[in-house]
């Protein structure tokens, strides 16, 4: 029974690769016999600089490292290894406890343990077994995290596809919305780029723009498809779509970052917008960007009751409404795009004609 358990343990140990570094060849030979007998895959090195290159190019689970070596000491070896490998489990061997490196060095270099050299390897074997258990647990955690990440990615994809279906349903009901969300998405990203926003934020703007009108799924078809100008009551119904959209998206944490865009893209800088009548910088920053993009597309799109506005009128409106409807700083940046980089606007318009 005992022999069977030992064989099983030795078979498990074959999954772990150990490198030992010591400039005394006799120590390497002894460790080789000892560790191979215990079932580990073993590699020995007497040149510490060569060992650094080996760790760079091969996978090792655990390193046994002599402290006092030539041409460089063990702590210098670890210093180099930690520049490119933070995970390698390292045990340090010392000829005498008085020659061990200071405790702060051991902590700083993330050395997991050390022991004195001895003719017997009992203490070292205990440290190795403890190290292998830690490595095994870390590998399990990595595996679980990887599986969770994969599951989350699939869930995220399913949610995105569901909301995308809602968006297409809205577009099928409302001819104006068709292409509008795509353009608002691209105009928002374009403005974000000129504001030097990071890539992650640009992605939030992109998705927020695509889904900003998803709440129109809750607005009656008779209002969405009406060809004449809306009555006050009908306009009140339309004004519910940001809150409806935010409510739809609130069931999934993956939409957390875009909900402020969906809910507040109709707020006005002077506090007269909806649904929250938020004012100035109380309006979420990305919602203020989307508001500029949304208004621009509304002005430059043909509606059943009016034609698209000429660009000089659009520019005049942005100048007139900065500080009231629009964040003045964002309006100025967007005006610069309209006046000096209109080719980028034109490219988006051509793309979604």
Which residues of the chain does CATH 3.40.50.2300 include? 2-139
Both structure tokens of 200: 């992650």
Tell me which CATH code domain 2-139 carries.
Answer: 3.40.50.2300
| The pLDDT value given to residue 193 | 97
> Could you read off the pLDDT of 117-174 as tens digits, one per residue?
777 777 888 889 888 888 887 888 778 777 767 776 777 777 777 777 777 777 777 6
Percent of the chain clearing pLDDT 70 (strictly above): 92
Burial class (CB in 10 A: 0-12, 13-18, 19+), 215: buried
**Alpha-carbon span 171 to 179, nearest angstrom:** 8
Both structure tokens of 123: 């203490």
| The pLDDT value given to residue 1 | 40
Q: Is the pLDDT of residue 3 over 50?
A: no
Q: What angle do CA 198, 216, 322 make, to 5 degrees?
A: 50
Q: Is the pLDDT of residue 245 over 70?
A: yes
* Domain 150-351 CATH class label: mainly alpha
Active site residue 346: no
Question: Catalytic pick from 216, 263, 268, 322?
Answer: 216
Q: Is the pLDDT of residue 74 over 70?
A: yes
Which residues of the chain does CATH 1.10.3210.10 include? 150-351
Sign of the dihedral defined by the CA atoms of residues 35, 36, 42, 43, in that order? positive
> Could you read off the pLDDT of 166-184 as tens digits, one per residue?
777 777 776 666 688 999 9
**CA 22 to chain centroid:** 42
| The pLDDT value given to residue 4 | 42
| The pLDDT value given to residue 5 | 35
- Reported as a pLDDT band with limits 50, 70 and 90, residue 10 is low
Question: Are the CB atoms for 240 and 213 separated by under 8 Å?
Answer: no
Question: Are the CB atoms for 152 and 158 separated by under 8 Å?
Answer: no
> Could you read off the pLDDT of 23-61 as tens digits, one per residue?
989 889 989 998 888 889 999 999 999 999 999 999 999
- How many H helices and E strands in the chain? 16, 5
Q: Residues with Cβ < 8 Å from 339, sequence gap 6 or more?
A: 315
> Could you read off the pLDDT of 270-299 as tens digits, one per residue?
999 999 999 999 999 999 999 999 999 999
């Amino acid at each position: 029974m005992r022999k069977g358990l030992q064989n099983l343990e030795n078979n498990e140990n074959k999954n772990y690769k150990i490198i030992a570094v010591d400039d005394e060849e006799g120590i390497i030979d002894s460790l080789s016999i000892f560790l191979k007998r215990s079932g580990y895959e073993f590699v020995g090195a007497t040149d510490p600089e060569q060992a650094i290159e080996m760790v760079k190019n091969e996978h090792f689970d655990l390193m046994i490292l002599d402290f006092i070596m030539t041409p460089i000491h063990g702590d210098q070896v670890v210093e180099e290894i930690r520049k490119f490998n933070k995970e390698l489990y390292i045990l340090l061997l010392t000829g005498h406890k008085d020659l061990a490196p200071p405790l702060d060095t051991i902590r700083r270099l993330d050395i997991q343990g050390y022991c004195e050299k001895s003719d017997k390897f009992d203490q070292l074997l205990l440290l190795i077994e403890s190290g292998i258990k830690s490595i095994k647990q870390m590998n399990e955690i990595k595996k679980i995290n990887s599986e969770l990440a994969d599951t989350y990615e699939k869930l995220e994809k399913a949610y995105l596809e569901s909301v995308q279906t809602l968006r297409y349903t809205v577009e099928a009901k409302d001819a104006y919305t068709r292409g509008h969300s795509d353009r608002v998405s691209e105009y928002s990203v374009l403005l974000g780029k000129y504001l030097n926003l990071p890539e992650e934020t640009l992605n939030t703007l992109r998705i927020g723009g695509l889904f900003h009108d998803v709440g129109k799924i809750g607005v009656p078809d008779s209002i969405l498809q009406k060809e004449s100008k809306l009555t006050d009551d009908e306009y009140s119904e339309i004004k519910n779509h940001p809150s409806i959209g935010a409510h739809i998206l609130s069931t999934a944490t993956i939409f957390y970052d875009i909900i402020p865009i969906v809910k507040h893209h109709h707020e006005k800088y002077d506090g007269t917008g909806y649904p929250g009548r938020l004012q100035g910088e109380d309006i979420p920053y990305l919602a203020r960007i989307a508001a500029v993009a949304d208004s621009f597309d509304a002005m430059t799109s043909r509606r059943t009751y009016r034609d698209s506005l000429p660009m000089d009128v659009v520019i005049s409106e942005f100048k007139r409404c900065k500080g009231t409807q629009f964040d003045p700083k964002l309006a100025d940046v967007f005006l610069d795009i309209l006046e000096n980089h209109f080719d980028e606007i034109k490219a988006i318009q051509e793309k979604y004609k």
